[in-house]
Structure 1
Amino acid sequence: MRRLAMIVAFSLLFFGIGNALTVYDIQFTDDPSGDSPYAGQTVGVSGIVFATGYSGDKYFICDPDGGPWHGVYIYDYSHSVSPGDFITITGTVQEFYNMTEITNLTDFSVDSAVSIPEPYDTTTGALSSSEAFEGVLVRVDSVVVTGEQGEYGLWRVDDGTGELVVDDTWDYSYTPTLGDTIASLVGVMMYSHDEYRLEPRGDSDFGIPETTDTSLTPIADIQADPSAFTTVTVEGVVTIGAGILDTSMTKAYIQDSSGRGIQLFDYDVTDAYRRDIRRGNLLRLTGDVEDYQGTTEIKEFSYELLDTNQALPEPYSLSCSGAASADWDGTLISLTGKIAEIYEVGGGTNVTIQDATGDIKLRIWETTGIELDTFAVGDSITVMGVGNFYFTGEEYQVLVAYEEDIVKHIVSAGVPPEEVFLTIPDAVFVPSIDGAMPIQFGAPAGWRITLKLFDMEGYAVKLLYSGVSTGSYSLNWTGLGDAGNVLPVGTYILLLTAENTTTGTLKSKRKPLVIGTRF
């Protein structure tokens, strides 16, 4: 690796990392009052503008990942901003009638334009009583109007979990009518007059039922009852390509927006299949449904290639015992555990991993080309694959198809750390020269931790770890994304999130990571 050049150092300041706090740092508190730990202090913070024009010219910013504790109100009428601006500011944290805001700005810069994080999906009941959502962009679905607009523009909705107050500080054309159902409602959470209120930003925050393509069958419906279907048309992203698990027959996997996947089967592997049915390609295909010895598949299919290089579906993070279920047949999942045994059998290798809940077998066929020489019993790994039923052994297993889908961790000896931490080398990472970047991280024992890499548009490009902390971890990342490609040159954000599973306390650490190239 090589030291950061001046241009890279400037790049990190450009993205507001440096010594600036995150929005999460300012907002998170376990004080019953809900007051920020920085109340009354002057702070520097960077964030993405996601709502403007509130009560005149005030606005809101958030961290790149969004979600609870990641949004804050900026009481500033001196600077012009637009949604998507990534800004760095210095100002005073103030509790205005228990609403956290940053005011009296002394420094301000607009660094770049980026994508706004998606609203955080939650429920009306959760929003009506949680400090964590103050200043956060959120979304609730299938809400019913339970209280019409009163004298001060307030009305109420409920999705069955509890009423939520909605305000009209921003202008929108919808007139609340008792009994109306709104398919989805987006807004910013504010605290005013001793209650939490949802503030829609305009007409675009009111969702209407989308027109769905009735010719498509959700894969989740097929998996729920394969016998109910004969010929279907589905559309989804390839998670395991043709010719990977078997070079003589097609045993590929596709997953759609319903959150479930399914096997594509053919008795041949044609050149067209190898070219088109590749990981990350978006396909629409029509074929016959069959349940073959516990595996649901689509066979006798024809297809259309719609797009390439699509982001993979987010894998479901499961325990070893949780993965051993028919619910995950054909679906992308990830799990973390220690290797209990490794043995070669029947044209491949079986790797048994275990965690506190039990164990499960990983099946790795020779045709995948995955090298396992560096893995040994006792190694801690995070793995991604698709759920599968092995009919001969009458047991559930996980099919692993790509080398980048297995990440080995080294758990340090001794007591787990008392605080959440994340460290990486202060250097540009050039995969073709450096080979791998060491990443160290950890959290107190029993905390659930997730380590992800995000691009500067806020998209997750690599899941590096997900599991319950048992110590301090070290892994070597080779520069590959979830799709198996070497990520392009640029600046990324490495984000570690940790949750105390007993108290619900959330903490996070982030580091800028720069991928470079040889000159």
Structure 2
Amino acid sequence: MKKIIILTLSLFMLSALTAVTIYEIQYTEDPSGDSPYDGEVVTTTGIVTAYGFGNDKYFISMPEGGAWKGIYVYDYTNAPAPGDEVEITATVDEYYDLTELTFVTSFSILSSGNPIPDPVSITTNELATEEMYEGVLVTISNITVTEIPNSYNEWYVDDGSGECQVDDGFFEYPAPLIGDEFISITGLVDYGFYYYSINPRDANDVVVGGVGAIIYDHEPAIGEDVLVQFTYYEDYSIMLWWKTSSDYDFEPLEMTTGRSVDYFATIPGQDGGTTVNFYIEATDSTGVVETFPEGDPETIIFGVYSHQAILNIPPRAFNPHAGETFPIEFASQQNDKAILRIYNAEGKLVRTLVNTIIENQTGINLYEWDGRDKENNLLPLGLYICFLEVIDTTNGNKKTAKAPIVIGSMLK
């Protein structure tokens, strides 16, 4: 009996120290897809392809990458960096049919700064159906959105071979629309709730189709910076020009490249009640400039969600006698009553421009004043006062704001 126990113990210890490759852990011909090492303690090595899945977990791969050569590590104790070569002793587990390494008992970094394996190019149908790509860094190309994000931020794309799921294990991509096209999406493949999905690691993994900008939040939180991604296929100098409604002119932000065709810039967060407009210029080596979009600038809105009186007036004169109008942006929370008036320098009311309930969810409204009084006459040059009164319709509380407007002289 003692010999049997000792033999069993020895076999257990040998199993616990079994050194195997990721390929050996993952490769299976079993229709269930289960690893042949399911339930066993193994030691393996690999290059970290991504960290931060579900905030603090990661994937590793054999250096050459490829089918069956990547695996998910459920380990929230260690925090390796992409490119680290690690050695791990852990238990192989089929967690709801996802092969993973868990219960890590030994972890060491063998080297750092190693190249991350190249992604494997596969079809969307292969991603959706093939066990061999679970845990692997892959790329799908020339794809179109077929389903918009559900409540779990899962959405679907198709390259014509059959749709697959895109998920947000690492970062949340801004909600696409059905029909949106992407040149490619790169990411790690996981499995859950009966679906394989691709999880891009960051914005660089998502290459949009066509030339244009992606705004990562059209209505950000107050004070939150906004990331803008621009895709362009030439090696041009790319500059983003932006301003708020209170600024005199656009200010430049140089866009930096993350991949060969993608450029990024961060627009600083703003106070509530602020509208940011921006456009992008691509300049070639001869100085020829292309502007995107071709028409009106793109818009980002920092909404107002409390009772306030906000006036945004650009610091410039305007000439209504030459047909110019003047943009007056005013804001308060939705359902407040807003009254916008113009007074002359002597304090006499010359016109009430707005008397309305704010229906816009962001609270921001724009009025283009034509420089006319209540009799529809063009006003003479001079200083005028724009006065905003905001009334909270639930309790009658009032707030006000005012700002000067200058009507310039007629052009000679």
Normalising by structure 1, we get a TM-score of: 0.37
State which structure, 1 or 2, has the greater radius of gyration over its C-alpha atoms.
Answer: 2
